[in-house]
Chains A and B, each alone.
Chain A
Amino acid sequence: MSGIETAGWDVIVAGGGNAALCAAIEAAETGARVLVLEGAPKDYRGGNSRHTRNFRCMHRGPLSVLTDSYGEDEYFDDLIRVTKGETDETLARLAIRQSEDCLPWMERHGVRFQPSLSGTLSLSRTNAFFLGGGKALVNAYYNTLEDLGVTVRYEAQVTHVHIENGQFEALDVTLDGESLRISGRALVLASGGFQSDIDWLARAWGSSARNFLIRGTRYNRGVVLADMLDQGAESVGDPTQCHAVAIDGRAPKYDGGIVTRLDCVPFSIVVNRDGDRFYDEGEDVWPKRYAIWGRLVAAQPDQVAYSIIDSRSVELFMPSVFPPEKADTIAGLADKLGLPADKLAETVEAFNAACGEGAFSPQELDGLATEGLEPPKTNWARPIAEPPFYGYSLRPGVTFTYLGLKVDETARVSGPDGRYANIWAAGEMMAGSILGQGYLAGFGMTIGTVFGRIAGQEAAAHVV
């Protein structure tokens, strides 16, 4: 084991997801001696990248599976809309511009794309889908690293970064039950956010965060991020915030991934534990609203809510991974969901009475709104009247945290005394530099790929 400590690594990459792998590939292709330290076991390698499904990519004409064109300004406008302006424009435009060159680079390194999946046609122009999903991408990159002769160690948890006078010297690493000190000439940090450390999440958000589900890997515990922040590394992003969406309440605590998504809300009424509605379910189409529902559910008692539909709506959305609860009466459904039956019946009756006449049109904002109901439902307000009735529980599912390391255009990290001489960061760990709030589908992979590549190139240039 001592060999790894004294091997004389040019570039050490802490992390094993998309950004880490892109950095390691770029560095190794310059001939640098690269070590990748992935904290997860091999079965769970790849961080949240293993759950991703696409890459948002600028392109001036049809590119690979992407149709038409998607220009820098349109891309940037889409980003500003979701972040409400909380975006570093320089870094964001850098990521957007370089994404176009990244897609062919990804293909050259084994990533395969497929046309937009059934049910996601709205993304065929903007997002290139991975054949087999993010785990296939992760596999392709690990195979590339193997071909390049890069050393990869799994279950290698970095616990401390030794920094002397603004210069990275060595890492403390727990590997196979041993504590090692591994030195290297340059360091790329790409080990994600802290959303899987529930205690940290609870300190930041409040104790209700203990009821949140984590959509991605259980290995993003923010150990390296915390160590860097303790040493005065410059941070960015609201430390109390995470991106959360409403997902199936029966999802596993970790790693539920894409299948736990529920698209039924716009065609339903959503009640809390007490059987009360609390927000306009029909405010907008679901892709534009699913993110706020994480927060809305988090604010309800016990951080749980229930989406209720009738038989007419059950096939209007993508199938769910778990079958819904089903009953012939509202009271029966309330029993199955553990809700107060009288109260739920009352809420449904009040809703049904407030529904007006008009055409119901699930694919567009149909303006079919309730009258005199508080809160209103402003679209798709069709009575819940045709048995059987169906219900899903909803819980907040955390995607990622915003707190990260602040980087410049070269992905370099700064400490208390200015830029570190030889530390770069990429991926979720620095995504807060670009995404202040909100999220744009496929943009996490863009940030990871662009800044992973930059970090790898810069780190290699430093040591060569």
Chain B
Amino acid sequence: MSFDAATQSPQTDTISEARRQVEICNACRYCEGFCDAFPAMFAERVFGEGDIVQIANLCHNCRGCYYSCQYTEPHEFALNLPQALADVRVDSWDRYGWPGGLGALFQRRGVALSAALVAGIALLFLAQAMLTPANGEGFYAVLSHTVMVAIFLPAFLFPMVVLALGLRAYWRDVGGAPVRWTHLRRAALRAGQLKNLDGGQGQGCNFEKGDRYSQARRHAHQATFWGFLLCFASTSSATLMHYLLGLEAPYGLFSLPKLLGVPGGLLLTLGAFGLAGLKLKADPQLGARNAWGGEMAFVLLLGLTGLTGLILYAVSGSGAVPAMLALHLGAVLTLFLTTPYSKMAHGFYRFAALVRDAQQRQA
């Protein structure tokens, strides 16, 4: 082993391996129609580190290119573009998430995310025990609104700040230009429809059925994504109702928080557990190396967040509320706090990559 090889960081390794593969793809181009990553790739001749990171974040791991590739192992070119780009992505999110190293921990170690969850739940139990409210209705009888805000406001703002800094660094690395409305619109449409998981022609991606196309992953992801947004909108609407209208929880079934939250919770739960089930059937060799556990723990955490939220609603008024409240809020807390370091980060960087791609197409 040479001195140079010994001093190369793992990140340089993943970038140079991705570059090796991308250069072979650029001489072939058979996969041009699958997704946005290929036209972006074929517009270049020389691939700087930022180019590779941008292409990697554009890739949605649909795997169409792998199953179509004439150069996968045992061919000596040994192409596995979905894995090479996933490795670059995982490294890049780790690098952009301050403090460094937390990303590597939570993206790769399912046990770390599980431990964080246990800690989050414990914290909520502790808060209930030590700060028992004197009065209050519904779950505010268990944990006061003030305590909840004291815990969740920083737990929401801190990850947002870390992500904002990370996205700024990403934007600098990929050479991003000032963002215009048209860029955002194109990116939002492609993200909202998950265009990059539709195989380029709406046939879907290659995941749990190997070289057969399937819509299952795209649909499960859509349910998870839109379910999460609905849940987020539910919480936001409740916050607004609380502060602006003076309407405090608990809310009835036909209130905005419930109308958004119940379908959102159902979608999130079904989608996330669906994704976990599909992940069990798919080939782990086509995802990032050593990240399967962290990814699995993350989708399960999402599912658990949705499920505990629904159960909490179902048991309202019963003696199970304190326990379910601790479980649910513990899951939410863990999900929020680890956002810049878990697979959750992918949504933010992918969106940035789609915005950058929209810019490059216009250029």
Interface residues of A (CB under 8 A from B): 43-44, 50-51, 53, 112, 114-115, 117-119, 129-136, 139, 143, 252, 255, 257-259, 261, 315, 318-321, 323
A112-B32 Cα distance, complex, nearest whole Å: 13
Given contacts A132-B65, A135-B68, contact A259 B33 (CB under 8 A): no
Interface residues of B (CB under 8 A from A): 23-24, 26-34, 39, 42, 45, 64-65, 67-77, 200-201, 203, 211-212
Given contacts A135-B69, A143-B211, contact A118 B32 (CB under 8 A): yes
Q: Main secondary structure on chain B at its contact with chain A?
A: loop
What residues of A have a CB within 8 angstroms of the CB of B26 in the complex? 319
A259-B75 Cα distance, complex, nearest whole Å: 13
A321 touches B33 (CB 8 A): no
A133 touches B68 (CB 8 A): yes
Given A132-B30, A133-B68, 17 other A-B residues pairs in contact with their CB atoms under 8 A: A50-B70, A112-B201, A114-B201, A130-B30, A131-B31, A132-B34, A132-B65, A132-B67, A132-B69, A133-B28, A133-B30, A135-B68, A259-B27, A259-B71, A261-B27, A319-B27, A321-B27
A129-B27 Cα distance, complex, nearest whole Å: 16
What residues of A have a CB within 8 angstroms of the CB of B72 in the complex? 43
A40-B347 Cα distance, complex, nearest whole Å: 42
Given contacts A112-B201, A318-B27, A319-B27, contact A43 B74 (CB under 8 A): yes
Would you give 8 A-B contacts (Cβ < 8 Å), ordered by A? Answer: A43-B72, A117-B30, A130-B30, A131-B68, A135-B67, A136-B67, A259-B71, A320-B27
What residues of B have a CB within 8 angstroms of the CB of A143 in the complex? 211-212
A315-B73 Cα distance, complex, nearest whole Å: 30
Given contacts A132-B68, A143-B212, contact A118 B42 (CB under 8 A): yes
A118 touches B31 (CB 8 A): no
What residues of B have a CB within 8 angstroms of the CB of A53 in the complex? 30
What residues of A have a CB within 8 angstroms of the CB of B67 in the complex? 132, 135-136, 139
Q: How far is the CB of A136 from chain B (nearest CB, A)?
A: 4
A118 touches B39 (CB 8 A): yes
What residues of A have a CB within 8 angstroms of the CB of B45 in the complex? 315, 319
A139-B66 Cα distance, complex, nearest whole Å: 12
Q: How far is the CB of A391 from chain B (nearest CB, A)?
A: 17
Q: How far is the CB of B344 from chain A (nearest CB, A)?
A: 31
Question: Which residue from A115, A132, A323 sits with its C-beta under 8 Å from B31?
Answer: A132
Q: For residue A43, which residue of chain B has the nearest CB?
A: B74
What residues of B have a CB within 8 angstroms of the CB of A139 in the complex? 67-68, 211
B64 touches A132 (CB 8 A): yes
Q: How far is the CB of A325 from chain B (nearest CB, A)?
A: 16
Question: Which residue from B28, B31, B32, B73 sits with its C-beta under 8 Å from A259?
Answer: B28
Q: How far is the CB of A145 from chain B (nearest CB, A)?
A: 13
A124-B42 Cα distance, complex, nearest whole Å: 18
B68 touches A321 (CB 8 A): no
Q: For residue A216, which residue of chain B has the nearest CB?
A: B70
What residues of A have a CB within 8 angstroms of the CB of B42 in the complex? 118-119
A117-B69 Cα distance, complex, nearest whole Å: 16
A114-B30 Cα distance, complex, nearest whole Å: 9
Q: For residue B39, which residue of chain A has the nearest CB?
A: A118
What residues of A have a CB within 8 angstroms of the CB of B27 in the complex? 258-259, 261, 318-321
Residue in B39, B72, B201, B211 whose Cβ sees the most chain A Cβ within 10 Å:
B211
Q: How far is the CB of A115 from chain B (nearest CB, A)?
A: 7
B212 touches A133 (CB 8 A): no
Q: How far is the CB of A248 from chain B (nearest CB, A)?
A: 9
